[in-house]
């Protein structure tokens, strides 16, 4: 099962296993990883599942849809490697993925 | 009415004498409150009491992914079962809170058991409003509030089935979209002259009417249902005031929700169309909070009170109550918001249409992507309804929060981005 490392803003790292087919967001919520709120439950409606994808993994996580891009452009601290984690499906190729969370989602 | 026997507290996994936050209600708000308490550092006991047989779950997918068979019990749950064990949150399912004894700080369950609380959070939600009309107690007349309701509706919808949808609000329209996706026929019977009359602007109502008709949903507006007809005890048609009887195999009634405030009223808490709470989600009893669809809450950004039925409201209030209980600084008030997904249409609404003097439409509704801004008399955005335009939703929400004065002509000008307008 793919392993994903979530790094909180203060540097605390959490490495958890997330089944293929769940989203990176679900992996955090289901494993009590702090720093992702996911208020809308994955409907791409709230932009509170914002993460920064580690440079080494950007090419494997896909690209933002137009809707995701619009949503995330208004998030706090948005960077070029920002993604809404509910829009990143976990695949075998993402085993070892590292994402970082912003200081806050609200 | 003495305090809890220490052995009983031990049996619940709580150390003798440890303070427990009791959450009455295991829905979206109740589940979120439990998680927020731990997130904000509450180290004492937490017990969630829910009358449904399953752990707290998300209701929005019930009318969408769940009906269409695209969700699982796991994806529906707010948190997996192991979350509650790991976070030392006790859960009591299929359990009803029958009364609150404020004097001794206990709740009494339906079976007579008494449970002590240090603080109580009421998260009892709302139930679907029932119509006291002939035939509404026939088999096959359904409502949509719980996962059990959704399962009943799901088994009744399929190719060739005909669904009567009474009420053209979000429940009815989302169910209509799901019914069509499943190959069923659907017709919507709405009492008002337009769909979503209580909650949406006329341009938005018109857009959704057009979209649903384009997907083959029949819509009757200004339509009064006077009863349901049945055969062999099962619903077979909807009878209208004009005498027509429209055949159906199943009927869904989505005509609003009623807060489950009865035990709060009986306990003497202030209630007016919901349990009255302040900006910290606290009731008229300092040891009792209330969150979610149950409550009548202040809206600091609008200078009034309202009972607000939405997931973001449930989450905000859950965080308010948890923060206040642990002594954490209150968060800034959030702009109320809401979303609905029907077919390939994503509707996002920020704010509420209070004190609206002018509607400004940005974009072309016939293109399928547009937004309706609601401005007050001074030119501040009070509300924005966004159809497939997330930038208008996010930017509009910032405009509402900042109380920024806007120029209607600028809002209409698509060469100006929402980033520019909201800056």
In chain A, which residue's Cα lies nearest the Cα of B59? Answer: A41
Return the pLDDT at B198.
87
Judged by CB atoms closer than 8 Å, whether chains meet at B346 and A39 is answered as: no
Query: Does the pLDDT of residue B104 top 60, yes or no?
Result: yes
For residues B25 and B94, state if they share a domain: yes
Domain span at B317: 6-127+258-326
In chain B, the number of structural domains is: 3
- The token duo for B46 is 């937490």
Packed helices B202-214 and B170-181: angle between N→C axes, nearest 10 degrees: 20
Return the pLDDT at B14.
44
Domain boundary among B195, B228, B255: B255
Return the pLDDT at B352.
97
- The token duo for B352 is 């509420």
Contact (Cβ atoms closer than 8 angstroms) between residue B197 and residue B206: no
Q: How many residues does chain B have?
A: 423
Contacts of B159 (CB under 8 A, 6+ apart): B182, B183, B184
| Chain B interface includes A80 (CB < 8 A) | no
Q: Residue B134 domain-assigned?
A: no
For residues B363 and B286, state if they share a domain: no
Return the pLDDT at B291.
98
Average pLDDT, chain A: 95
Return the pLDDT at B12.
43
Q: What are the structural domain ranges in chain A?
A: 3-100
- Interface predicted TM-score of the whole assembly (ipTM), two decimals: 0.94
- Residue whose pair of structure tokens reads 């006329």 in the numeric block: B202
Cβ-based interface (< 8 Å): residues of B facing A: 39, 58, 60-61, 75, 79-80, 83, 86-87, 311-312, 315, 331, 334, 339, 341, 346, 348, 388-391, 394-395, 398, 419, 422
Q: What's phi and psi for B257, nearest 5 deg?
A: -130, 150
Q: What is the mean pLDDT of residues B355-376?
A: 97
Q: What is the mean pLDDT of residues B279-292?
A: 98
pLDDT band with cut points at 50, 70 and 90 for residue B88: very high
Min CA distance, B316 vs chain A (Å)?
A: 10
User: Of B291, B257, B226, B338, which is closest to residue B35 (Cα–Cα)?
Assistant: B291
For residues B85 and B118, state if they share a domain: yes
For residues B267 and B289, state if they share a domain: yes
Return the pLDDT at B277.
98
For residues B74 and B50, state if they share a domain: yes
Neighbours of B114 (CB within 10 A): 16
Return the pLDDT at B406.
97
Chain A residues touching B417 at Cβ < 8 A: none
For residues B108 and B45, state if they share a domain: yes
In chain A, which residue's Cα lies nearest the Cα of B81? Answer: A30
What is the 8-class DSSP label of residue B60? Answer: G
Summarize pLDDT for A49-97 with one digit per residue, the tens.
999 999 899 999 999 999 999 999 999 899 999 999 999 999 999 999 9
Q: What is the largest CA-CA distance in chain B?
A: 70
Query: Does the pLDDT of residue B415 top 80, yes or no?
Result: yes
Judged by CB atoms closer than 8 Å, whether chains meet at A45 and B339 is answered as: yes
Chain B residues touching A39 at Cβ < 8 A: 311-312, 315
Of residues B16 and B55, more confidence is placed in: B55
| Chain B interface includes A70 (CB < 8 A) | yes
**Which CATH number does the domain housing residue B289 bear?**
3.50.50.60
Q: Residue B332 domain-assigned?
A: no
Query: What superfamily does domain A3-100 belong to in CATH?
Result: Beta-grasp domain (3.10.20.30)
Contacts of B99 (CB under 8 A, 6+ apart): B107, B108, B263, B266, B267
Summarize pLDDT for B178-223 with one digit per residue, the tens.
999 999 999 999 999 999 998 999 999 999 999 999 999 999 999 9
Min CA distance, B79 vs chain A (Å)?
A: 6
Judged by CB atoms closer than 8 Å, whether chains meet at B80 and A30 is answered as: yes
Return the pLDDT at B314.
98
For residues B247 and B266, state if they share a domain: no
For residues B263 and B251, state if they share a domain: no
């Amino acid at each position: 099962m793919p392993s994903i490392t979530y790094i909180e803003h203060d540097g605390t790292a959490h490495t958890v296993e997330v089944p293929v087919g769940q989203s990176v967001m679900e992996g955090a919520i289901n494993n009590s990883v702090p720093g992702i709120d996911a208020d809308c439950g994955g409907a791409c409606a709230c932009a509170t599942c914002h993460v920064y994808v580690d440079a080494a993994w950007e090419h494997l996580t896909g690209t933002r849809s137009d809707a995701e891009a619009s949503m995330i452009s208004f998030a706090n601290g948005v960077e070029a490697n920002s993604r809404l984690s509910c829009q990143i499906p976990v695949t075998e190729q993402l085993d070892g993925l590292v994402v970082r969370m912003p200081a806050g989602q609200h | 009415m003495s305090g809890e026997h220490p052995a009983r507290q031990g049996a619940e996994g709580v150390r003798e004498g440890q303070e427990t936050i009791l959450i009455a209600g295991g829905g979206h708000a109740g589940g979120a409150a439990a998680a927020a308490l731990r997130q904000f550092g509450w180290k004492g006991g937490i017990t969630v009491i829910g009358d449904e047989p399953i752990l707290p779950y998300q209701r929005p997918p019930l009318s969408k992914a769940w009906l269409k068979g695209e969700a699982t019990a796991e994806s529906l749950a707010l948190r997996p079962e192991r979350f509650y064990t790991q976070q030392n949150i006790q859960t009591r399912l299929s359990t009803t809170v029958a009364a609150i004894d404020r004097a001794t700080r206990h709740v009494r369950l339906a079976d007579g058991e008494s449970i002590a609380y240090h603080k109580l959070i009421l998260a009892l939600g709302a139930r679907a409003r029932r119509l006291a009309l002939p035939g509404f107690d026939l088999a096959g007349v359904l409502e949509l509030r719980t996962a059990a309701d959704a399962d009943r509706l799901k088994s009744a919808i399929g190719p060739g089935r005909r669904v009567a949808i009474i009420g053209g609000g979000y429940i009815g329209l989302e169910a209509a979209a799901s019914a069509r996706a499943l190959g069923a026929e659907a017709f919507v019977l709405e009492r008002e002259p337009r769909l979503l009359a209580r909650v949406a602007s006329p341009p938005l109502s018109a857009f959704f009417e057009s979209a649903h008709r384009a997907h083959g949903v029949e819509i009757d507006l200004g339509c009064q249902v006077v009863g349901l007809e049945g055969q062999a005890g099962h619903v077979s048609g909807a009878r209208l005031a004009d005498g027509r009887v429209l055949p159906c195999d199943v009927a869904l009634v989505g005509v609003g929700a009623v807060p489950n405030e009865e035990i709060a009223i009986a306990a003497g808490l202030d209630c007016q169309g919901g349990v009255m709470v302040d900006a910290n989600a606290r009731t008229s009893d300092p040891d009792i909070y209330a969150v979610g669809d149950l409550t009548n809450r202040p809206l600091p950004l609008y200078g009034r009170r309202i009972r607000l039925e939405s997931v973001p409201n449930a989450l905000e209030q859950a965080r308010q109550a948890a923060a206040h209980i642990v002594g954490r600084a209150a968060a800034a008030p959030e702009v109320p918001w809401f979303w609905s997904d029907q077919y390939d249409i994503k509707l996002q609404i920020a704010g509420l249409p209070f004190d609206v003097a002018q509607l400004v439409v940005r974009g072309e509704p016939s293109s399928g992507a547009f937004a309706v801004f609601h401005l007050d008399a001074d030119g501040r955005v009070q509300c924005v309804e966004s159809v497939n335009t997330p930038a208008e939703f996010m930017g509009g929400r910032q405009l509402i929060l900042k109380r920024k004065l806007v120029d209607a002509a600028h809002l209409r000008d698509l060469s100006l981005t929402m980033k520019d307008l909201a800056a």
